[in-house]
């Protein structure tokens, strides 16, 4: 146990992750759970500022790849859901329905926006010259979650980006699925420092209305997997339902091919917190920290004005070079300030007192390795390089953790042990279409785990028989517990 008076967090992450997570989102002022509606939470300013940084990086990446921003209404007419049968069946149990207004169609709060956006695509797309159409929106979605909720991880409202794209051919649509996986790699992994396994879901676990789904599975410290951005090849299922057609170069009418992609920023924040945090609090990647360096002036009554003035000069200098920095000029003791900003996960802390100014050597604290070093005023110009090294360390550590947790297995006994040890099993499997569902059900009931799918970024060839039924294996699958 960690003494509360000493560190603030009363449990260690590797001993009780659930309690550690609950404490850290409260004490680092990420969320407030006292909003009195199940599954809905308040995201406090520090949490919101982190999410804004995450949104910014994601939207820039999408726009760089020719996606255009838009905003659609949060309500969807009931008749829209009925146009695509499997989508209706898949999402109706999760829909929040608004009380019916006399004389109007019943309305739903959007659980996702296919049935809202595609009716408009039918107006906008006429010719092959209108393609590709690549649109995204930043939005909140609402799902009537009946299972136990968990702040940022599983709730009834979450904050995300959804991209909905249309193409002339299936080949172009499948290329977009691969581009979405690459976007997840570029942003969530390389910027947020969260590694993932791109898993092509089994047919029984695909998105309602899709030909297939690729989910980005992230390993949490408790051994459970959480799905992060998913991308779906919708094929022509929705375009036929919503009559989204175009005339090709020969003047012939064709239905468009569609994809959708959904990075949930609020859920990714949960993975950032869980992947990088330690027993002292958050550790935020330099790339997404709202404050990359906090300046702690150490002063008394006699030198307060002088120290604050010098601190302000340093802050302006840092901000000019692109380092997001702030000054904590509060009357709290230096130790209290250190604790607070460590808890919030700020990458660097700069301590400035009379001694530092006289020696022209400032004290720099590096959050992830918890070390102090002396740094000259001139060397502050190198802090961006320090930041890049900071993020590289976080990524390397996270990558190593997931690598160590993937274990090959050949028997049911080995599979059970791997799952009980909070790891991910890689195994031969008979099939990921309907024929393999019986074996998957066995894993769910007897092992208390799930077949997450096959790798979407590479082809892994099985050698031997299915770990459950003993028939000749056609796939290599990954098995684990999930939220």
**Same domain, yes or no: 156 and 214:** yes
CATH code where residue 468 lies: 3.30.110.30
Please check whether residues 200 and 244 belong to one and the same domain: yes
- Residue 131's contacts (CB-CB under 8 Å, 6 or more residues apart) are 125, 166, 167, 168, 246, 256
CA dist., res. 137 & res. 72, Å (int): 8
Domain membership flag for residue 283: no
> Is 375 found in the same domain as 409?
no
d(CA 88, CA 147): 20
pLDDT at 7: 53
Residue 398 lies in a domain: no
Task: Evaluate whether residue 390 is within a structural domain.
Answer: no
Tens-level pLDDT at each residue, the chain (483 residues): 344 434 589 999 999 999 999 999 999 999 999 998 999 999 999 999 999 999 999 999 999 999 999 999 999 998 888 887 677 677 778 899 987 777 788 899 999 999 999 999 999 999 999 999 999 999 999 999 878 889 999 999 999 999 999 999 999 999 999 999 999 999 999 999 999 999 999 999 999 899 999 999 999 999 999 999 999 999 999 999 999 999 999 999 999 999 999 999 999 999 999 999 999 999 999 999 999 999 999 999 889 999 999 999 999 999 999 999 999 999 899 999 999 999 999 999 999 999 888 888 999 999 999 999 999 988 888 999 999 999 999 999 999 999 999 999 999 999 999 999 999 999 999 999 989 999 999 999 999 999 999 999 999 999 999 999 999 999 999 999 998
Q: Does one domain contain both 97 and 59? A: yes
Q: What token pair was written down for 30? A: 């990420």
In a domain, 394, yes or no: no
Do 415 and 467 sit in the same domain of this protein? yes
Give domain status of residue 304, yes or no: yes
Give the torsion sign (CA, 125, 130, 136, 137): negative
Same domain? 258 vs 340:
no
123 lies in the same domain as 270 = yes
- Whether residue 365 sits in one domain with residue 229: no
In a domain, 300, yes or no: yes
pLDDT score, position 186: 98
* Within-domain flag for 8: yes
Domain count, the chain: 3
The helix or strand, by DSSP H or E, that contains position 162, with its residue range, turns out to be strand 157-167
Together in a domain, 133 and 77: yes
Supply the pLDDT for residue 70. 98
The domain of 335 spans: 293-382
Assigned domain for 254 exists: yes
According to the model, what pLDDT value does residue 91 have? Answer: 75
Alpha-carbon distance of 175 to 189, in angstroms, equals 20
pLDDT at 87: 74
pTM of the predicted model over 0.85 = yes
Q: What is the DSSP string of 171-224?
A: HHHHHHHHHHHHHHIIIIITTT----EEEE--GGGS-TT-SEEEEEEEE-TTSE
140: left (phi over 0), alpha (psi -120 to 50) or beta: beta
Return the SS3 of 231.
Answer: strand
Question: Among 382, 417, 443, which residue terminates a domain?
Answer: 382
């Amino acid at each position: 146990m960690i003494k509360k008076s000493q560190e603030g967090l009363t449990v260690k992450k590797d001993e009780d992750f659930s309690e550690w997570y609950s404490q850290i989102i409260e004490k680092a002022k990420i969320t407030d759970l006292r909003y009195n509606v199940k599954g809905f939470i308040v995201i406090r300013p520090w949490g919101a500022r982190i999410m804004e940084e995450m949104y910014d990086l994601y939207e820039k990446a999408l726009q760089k790849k020719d996606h255009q921003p838009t905003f659609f209404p949060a309500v969807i007419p009931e008749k829209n859901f009925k146009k695509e049968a499997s989508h209706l069946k898949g999402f109706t149990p999760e829909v929040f329905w608004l009380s019916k207004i006399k004389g109007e169609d019943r309305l739903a709060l959007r659980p996702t926006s296919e049935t809202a956006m595609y009716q408009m695509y039918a107006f906008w797309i006429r010719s092959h010259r209108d393609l590709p159409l690549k649109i995204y929106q930043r939005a909140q979605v609402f799902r009537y979650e009946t299972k136990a909720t968990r702040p940022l991880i599983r709730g009834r409202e979450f904050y995300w980006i959804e991209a909905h794209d249309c193409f002339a051919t299936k080949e172009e649509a499948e290329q977009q699925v691969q581009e979405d996986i690459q976007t997840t790699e570029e942003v969530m992994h390389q910027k947020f420092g969260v590694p993932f396994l791109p898993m092509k879901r089994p047919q029984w676990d695909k998105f309602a209305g899709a030909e297939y789904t690729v989910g980005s599975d992230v390993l949490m410290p408790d051994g459970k997997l959480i799905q992060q951005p998913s991308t779906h090849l919708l094929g022509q299922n929705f375009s036929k339902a919503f009559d989204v057609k175009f005339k090709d170069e020969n003047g012939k009418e064709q239905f468009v091919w569609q994809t959708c992609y959904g990075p949930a920023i609020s859920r990714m924040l949960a993975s950032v917190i869980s992947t990088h945090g330690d027993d002292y609090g958050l550790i935020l990647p330099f790339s997404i920290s709202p404050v990359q360096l906090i300046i702690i002036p150490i002063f008394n009554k006699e030198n307060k004005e002088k120290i604050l003035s010098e601190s302000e000069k340093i802050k302006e200098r840092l901000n000019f070079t692109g380092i997001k920095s702030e000054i904590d000029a509060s009357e709290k003791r230096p130790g209290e300030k250190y604790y607070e900003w460590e808890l919030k996960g700020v990458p660097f802390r700069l301590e400035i007192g009379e001694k530092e100014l006289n020696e022209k050597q400032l004290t720099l604290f590096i959050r992830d390795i918890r070390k102090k070093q002396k740094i000259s005023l001139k060397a502050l110009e190198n802090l961006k390089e320090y930041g890049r090294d900071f993020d590289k360390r976080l990524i390397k550590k996270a990558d190593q953790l997931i690598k160590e947790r993937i274990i090959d297995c050949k028997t049911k006994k080995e599979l059970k042990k791997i799952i009980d040890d909070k790891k991910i099993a890689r195994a031969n499997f008979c099939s990921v279409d309907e024929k393999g569902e019986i074996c998957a059900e066995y894993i769910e009931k007897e092992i208390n785990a799930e077949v997450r799918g096959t790798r979407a970024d590479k082809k892994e060839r099985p050698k031997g028989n299915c770990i459950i039924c003993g028939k000749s294996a056609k796939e290599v699958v990954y098995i684990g517990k999930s939220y």
